[in-house]
A = this chain, B = another copy of it.
Amino acid sequence: MPKVTEEHRLARRQQIVAAARLCVVEQGFHKTTMADVIRESGMSAGAVYGYFKSKEEIVAAIAEEALSTVDELFEKILATEEPLTPLAALEAALNHIVAVAERPGGDVTRVAIQAWAEALRNPAIKATAQGKYIQVRAHFEAVARRAQADGTVDASVDPHYIAQVLFGFLPGFILQRLLIGDVSPDTYTAGLRALLQP
């Protein structure tokens, strides 16, 4: 028998995560069972349970995958040689969200909204959401500090509070995009341009 390589393991794991994402997007978190994920993945139950013990673990992996390029995104944002503005950072974040949402295999922002609701009563999902969002917010805090150093944002305000607001733009964009459908990074950036300090 061939030895199972690490590459093979990762590909199998990703296959399960993709199957679970499709199930949650189509049926919602509650109606999705491990049996659905197993069927959709085309793998055996034993194989799937070898990677994930519960729906909660799979949802954490979906979040992990969705946010896997966030560090890179913020590296790019902070790499600008111009004075960094909150507008530029938010525009990049909005474009990134839409690019990730439009990847084939199910809009992961739909999974995010399911996770918000689930987090209210499921401590494992709440812990995952908290961890992920605190990580994204820390990136926005770095943006705030940089903007303060560059003189584009009032330096007397706690950058943690600024990060709350910058991060806080994103759920409202995600929600309007899915529930109302008339927002885009372009309309949002136009609105932001009118409101934010130049």
Residues of A within 8 A of B (CB): 27-30, 86, 110, 113-114, 116-121, 126, 129-130, 133-134, 137, 144, 153-154, 156-158, 160-173, 175-176, 178-180, 182-183, 187-188, 190-198
Establish whether residues A188 and B162, one from each chain, have CB atoms under 8 Å apart when the complex forms: no
Establish whether residues B191 and A121, one from each chain, have CB atoms under 8 Å apart when the complex forms: no
Grouping DSSP codes into helix (H, G, I), strand (E, B) and loop, the A interface class, with mixed when no group exceeds half, is helix
Report the Cα distance A2→B28, complex, angstroms.
47
Residue of B nearest to A167 (CB): B172
19 A-B residue contacts at CB 8 Å?
A28-B118, A29-B117, A30-B30, A110-B120, A113-B116, A114-B120, A116-B175, A133-B180, A134-B180, A137-B180, A158-B190, A162-B195, A163-B191, A164-B183, A164-B187, A165-B191, A168-B175, A170-B172, A195-B197
